[in-house]
Amino acid sequence: GPARPLAGRWPTADCIVTVEPNEKPMRTARPDIAAVVLAGGFGTRIRHLLPGVPKPMAMVAGRPFLEHVVRYLGTFGLSRVILSTGYLAEVIEAHFAAVRVPGVEVSCVREATPLGTAGGFLQAARGAAPAPNAWLVLNGDSLVFSDFAQFIDEFERARLPAAIMGLRLSDAARFGTFE
């Protein structure tokens, strides 16, 4: 069947998050949009908890977190996902070589040296062929449950050169803000 987002309850730093599975069928395929998932960081704050495992590959409900991210993107018809990897890239590459996500073509682009957020995306974008009409860029160690289809529809309707999806928080000091 179609890929579905994670269902269940799990603790986060500040709360318990409950997510219901998306029972809707996969949206219309969007081969014109490629997602780049940034998964190359060192995970410094939690590295001691995950020896030999990059942070996006931490197990959540029986699967690496990054696999949940890829499956969630698939529910919105995003059939092309490029993982920008770095630290312990071989762990991510081995997983996605062995585990296929239905309806999603996953490829990995490894940073030989840390390139930073923009650098990881640019390296992945430069190697993408054919080039998509649009890019969706997100972090591989977090997941915002949002209607990407609505976001993409609004982006296309407004004919914007770029768009950023943000999240309102009562205290964004730890994360930064858009202004």
| pLDDT tens column, 15-61 | 333 334 443 445 677 888 899 999 988 888 888 888 899 999 999 99
- Cut 0.85: pTM above it: no
| pLDDT computed for residue 94 by the predictor | 96
Share of the chain above pLDDT 90, in %: 40
Are 170 and 149 spatial neighbours (Cβ–Cβ below 8 Å)? no
How does pLDDT run across 145-178, given as a tens digit for each residue?
A: 887 788 888 888 888 877 877 777 888 888 777 7
Strands 16-19 and 8-11: antiparallel
On average, the pLDDT of the chain sits at: 81
Determine the Cα–Cα distance for residues 157 and 149; give it in Å rounded to an integer.
12
